[in-house]
Amino acid sequence: MLVRTDRSLVPGPPRAFFIALNLVLQPTFQAQARPMTAHQTIEAETTTISGAEMVVRALIDQGVEVLFGYPGGAVLPIYDALFSEPRLQHVLVRHEQGATHAAEGYARSTGKPGVVLVTSGPGATNAVTGIVDALMDSIPMIVITGQVATHLIGTDAFQECDTIGITRPCTKHNYLVKDIADLPRILHEAFHIATSGRPGPVVIDIPKDVQFAKGAYQGPTEVKHAHNYAPRTKGDPGKIAEAVALIAKARKPILYTGGGVINAGPRAAELLREFAELTGAPVTSTLMGLGAFPASDSKWLGMLGMHGSFEANNAMHDCDVMVAIGARFDDRVTGRLDAFAPTSRKIHIDVDPSSIGKNVRADIGIVGDAGQVLEDMIAAWKQRNLSVDAAALKAWWTQIDAWRARNSFAYRPDTKLIKPQYAIERLYELTKDHDTYITTEVGQHQMWAAQFYKFEKPNRWMTSGGLGTMGYGLPAAVGVQMAHPDALVIDIGGDASVQMTMQEISTAVQYDLPIKIFILNNEWMGMVRQWQQLLHGERYSHSYSSSLPDFVKLAEAYGGVGFRAEHPDELDDKIREMISVKKPVIFDCRVTKEENCFPMIPSGKAHNEMIMAEEARDLGSIIDDAGKRLV
């Protein structure tokens, strides 16, 4: 290995720092069985820096300000390097899963990558859930894991696990750094891979001896990437021309948008609005895409899919041209595939070529970044002076308005008990004028939040869509609040989900993060209970939340503030009080216990076979055996 020793080429901390670091590291080096190589000895006397120091330097060079982590034996050198580093704020979580979800919340609400630092073994395995979550929802994330020293790998050493083997199928890419010479390149390459193309998590596993080893640091522009990874972001002009011509001829168009529009940045959301304006097409979105199109716009149909709106799903079913933008035809969206939008031509825009044609055949597949392709489509539309079939579009909107009139999210109000839908409606009304960010857990409350909370802007909605991770929302709120200290950050949770990562309220207290944990408490795993009621003959097997804690006292025990609302009349005042408190809050909102989430496309059914609230008695007789086998 060639070591650059020229001080001018390798900017580094002042020399005194190295002397101090060497003193600290010396005993540990002696403790290691592996002798130092010649170059390591030489480097110790030059301007080269340790692997741990490189990690810190690379994070700063990559513009990282906040990282979420938990120390342990195999990452102590990195924690040591962080000790007196004012440019990086480390947030100590209470469990590594919390660090990953916090990083996701941070990433989703800022558009920047989330960074996680955990130790080897259990540190890495605890992070796996959040890593998979980030992969499924295309969240840019860098996870740095400590590893036992290279000579101990494979010996079943204390806190050793095959992190690379475990995370290989659940990362966009992962690295085991065995040589200090590779570390700067890998660190910068990881950021490039995590944030470009279809974003995703990248794991960097760094053995402890590599953290101690010394080498020459290189900055982001100095390193030469080893892979010829270069995702395509610019759409094919020929296909774009074909696509706009098809849209102009459409009589019943629809724009079906997803998380890809959010990932493409705020500009993509603006372009989406412009494109909808040009084409006059209705817009629906997946769970992950909420906020990319303003809910107050008259062309907004609401979310589509299993618990989407009647108008969105029927418009999807009946459309003649579907434009999928940054959405991946998930089974929760399509329902029964052989009856999915049967009369439509489909244009699929996605930055990931493997998403196109995976579940549904696209007539025109355009590989590219949602924002760039939208920009090119708008330009192509204007350049060709295309116009829509106004008469056909008018008839299409008349039909859509008729579907809208069904008011599919309607629920029976109650004057004595708080309906969960009512709670979200009130929460929305009382928080909409604030600078609000919403995270959720997973289940009924998540669907009600998606149905009743109206988003005007992207990056305001953080939820676990693909993996459906209960326990996502609370730590995600921690991450969001770190990025937006003055914003109102609310985790809409359920009594079951929220207990999966409840310990992270302690993190919120430690860092003065006034997150609001708004629990729709029905004492059930509501969505499980709903399926058991409708599909399993009302046999409620292990879905009742027995022995719930007193959430108000729990909040107080952690050093936060607790509220409880049991009656509709007190809800508004309590929510207002919650907003005014500048501390972490647990809001125990006692809601009706057996409310079901409707409308619903039963498993194995088509978009136009939605079950409305008033029709739902015994879904068991509606869903056939094949449908019951689906999740």
Partner 1 sequence: MTDAQPASVYDLAHADQPESRATFAVLVDNEPGVLHRVVGLFAARGYNIDSLTVAETDEKAHTSRITIVTRGTPQVLAQIEAQLQKMVSTRHVQDVTRDPNGIERELALVKVRGSGAERVEALRVSDIFRAKVIDTTHESFVFELTGASSKIDKFVDLMRPLGLVEVSRTGVLSLQRGVEVF
Q: Which is nearer to partner 1, 80 or 133 (CB)?
A: 133
* Cβ at position 198, least distance to partner 1 in Å: 8
Stretch that binds partner 1, among 233-241, 360-368, 483-491, 590-598 (CB under 8 A): 360-368
By the rule CB under 8 A, 15 interacts with partner 1? no
Q: Which is nearer to partner 1, 155 or 383 (CB)?
A: 155
Of the candidate residues 65, 85, 236, 331, the single one contacting partner 1 (CB under 8 A): 331
158 catalytic per annotation? yes
Q: Which of 18, 40, 68, 96 is catalytic?
A: 96
Residues near 292 by Cβ (< 8 Å), separated by ≥ 6? 257, 261, 262, 268, 269, 272, 285, 458
Indicate the SS3 state at residue 614. Answer: helix
Note whether 111 and 480 are within 8 A (CB): no
Stretch that binds partner 1, among 24-32, 357-365, 419-427, 581-589 (CB under 8 A): 357-365
Of the candidate residues 9, 60, 337, 405, the single one contacting partner 1 (CB under 8 A): 337
Cα–Cα distance list, 247 to 53, 276, 348 (Å): 54, 11, 12
Q: Which is nearer to partner 1, 379 or 630 (CB)?
A: 630
**Distance between CA 500 and CA 469 in Å, rounded?**
10
**Distance between CA 92 and CA 506 in Å, rounded?**
10
Helices (H), 32-159: 38-44, 51-61, 76-82, 96-110, 122-136
Q: Which is nearer to partner 1, 343 or 541 (CB)?
A: 343
Q: Which is nearer to partner 1, 229 or 540 (CB)?
A: 229
By the rule CB under 8 A, 227 interacts with partner 1? yes
Q: Which of 208, 252, 516, 574 is catalytic?
A: 208
Edge-first strand listing for the sheet containing 201-207: 89-92, 66-69, 114-118, 141-147, 201-207, 173-176
Q: Which of 527, 578, 600, 610 is catalytic?
A: 527
Q: Which of 159, 399, 503, 510 is catalytic?
A: 159
Q: Can you say whether residue 455 is alpha, beta or left, with left for phi > 0 and alpha for psi between -120 and 50 degrees?
A: beta
* Cβ at position 229, least distance to partner 1 in Å: 5
Q: If binding means CB under 8 A, how many residues of this protein chain bind partner 1?
A: 37
By the rule CB under 8 A, 221 interacts with partner 1? no
Count of beta carbons in the 10 Å neighbourhood of residue 386: 15
By the rule CB under 8 A, 193 interacts with partner 1? yes
The tokens describing 582, both together, are 């500048």
* Cβ at position 132, least distance to partner 1 in Å: 12
Stretch that binds partner 1, among 12-20, 221-229, 390-398, 509-517 (CB under 8 A): 221-229
Residues near 483 by Cβ (< 8 Å), separated by ≥ 6? 66, 105, 106, 109, 110, 112
Residues near 594 by Cβ (< 8 Å), separated by ≥ 6? 522, 524, 529, 533
Of the candidate residues 304, 360, 496, 597, the single one contacting partner 1 (CB under 8 A): 360
Count of beta carbons in the 10 Å neighbourhood of residue 474: 31
234 catalytic per annotation? no
**CA triple 270-276-280, angle to 5 deg:** 155
By the rule CB under 8 A, 164 interacts with partner 1? yes
Name 322's bridge partners: 254, 346
Give the N- to C-terminal CA distance of the chain in Å, as an integer. Answer: 53
Stretch that binds partner 1, among 133-141, 224-232, 370-378, 400-408 (CB under 8 A): 224-232
358 catalytic per annotation? no
Of the candidate residues 73, 122, 357, 620, the single one contacting partner 1 (CB under 8 A): 357
By the rule CB under 8 A, 224 interacts with partner 1? no
Q: Which is nearer to partner 1, 57 or 345 (CB)?
A: 345
* Position 228, amino acid: N
Listed residue (383, 355, 388) closest to 370, CA to CA: 355
Of the candidate residues 2, 8, 19, 338, the single one contacting partner 1 (CB under 8 A): 338
By the rule CB under 8 A, 345 interacts with partner 1? yes
68 catalytic per annotation? no
Note whether 312 and 302 are within 8 A (CB): yes
Per-residue binding string, partner 1, 168-187, x by CB under 8 A, is xx--xx--x-----------
The tokens describing 339, both together, are 């009856």
* Cβ at position 337, least distance to partner 1 in Å: 4
Stretch that binds partner 1, among 6-14, 66-74, 341-349, 592-600 (CB under 8 A): 341-349
Of the candidate residues 110, 125, 359, 545, the single one contacting partner 1 (CB under 8 A): 359
Q: Which residue reads 């503030």 in tokens?
A: 561
Of the candidate residues 95, 101, 299, 336, the single one contacting partner 1 (CB under 8 A): 336
**Distance between CA 103 and CA 367 in Å, rounded?**
28
By the rule CB under 8 A, 577 interacts with partner 1? no
* Cβ at position 361, least distance to partner 1 in Å: 5
527 catalytic per annotation? yes
Residues near 159 by Cβ (< 8 Å), separated by ≥ 6? 72, 73, 74, 119, 120, 121, 122, 123, 148
Note whether 201 and 135 are within 8 A (CB): yes
Rounded to the nearest angstrom, the gap between the alpha carbon of residue 83 and the centroid of all alpha carbons in its chain is 29
Of the candidate residues 127, 604, 607, 619, the single one contacting partner 1 (CB under 8 A): 604
* Cβ at position 246, least distance to partner 1 in Å: 12
Q: Which is nearer to partner 1, 173 or 214 (CB)?
A: 173
Report the interface residues with partner 1, using CB under 8 A.
164-165, 168-169, 172-173, 176, 193, 226-229, 331, 334-338, 340, 342-346, 352-354, 356-361, 363, 604, 626, 630
Active site residues: 96, 158-159, 208, 527
